[in-house]
Amino acid sequence: MNLENLQHKLILAARAHPPEDSVPYAFEQRIMARLTEYRADRWLTWSRLLWRAVAPCLGIMALVSVLSLTFESSLGDSEVLANDLDNTVLAAVANPGDAW
C-alpha cells in the first residue's frame, strides 16, 4: 500500500470531521506524549516479552524431559552409548595426525 496515499486519505477524513466539544483539552498532546514515552523504553518492552516467554519455555522443557525419560529404556544400554561418545570425542586426541 502506498503510505503517502493512505496518509492523504486519512488527513482528508480528519478534516471532514472536525473535533467535537466533548474532546478534552489537549487530548492529542497527551496521547502523543504517551506514544513517545512508550517508544523510548525498549528495554522494558524486551523484559516484558521475555518474562511472558518463560511459561511456554518451561512447559516445553518439562514435556521434553518427560518424553526423554519415557523413551530412555527403548534406546538401549546407556553405558554403551557413553563409551561410544567418549571414543568419538577422544579420537582426535589419540591420533592427532588423522584429525585433518
Domain ranges of the chain: 3-41
Q: What percent of the chain has pLDDT over 70?
A: 81
pLDDT of residue 62: 96
Tell me the Cα Rg of the chain: 31
- pLDDT value of residue 82: 80
End-to-end CA distance of the chain: 55
pLDDT value, residue 88: 84
Handedness of CA 64, 69, 74, 76 (dihedral sign): positive
Q: What is the pLDDT of residue 100?
A: 57
Measured CA distances, 34 to 17, 22, 30, 40, 67 (Å):
24, 21, 6, 10, 47
Non-local CB neighbours of 63 within 8 Å, separated by 6+ positions: none
Report residues of the chain scoring pLDDT below 50: none
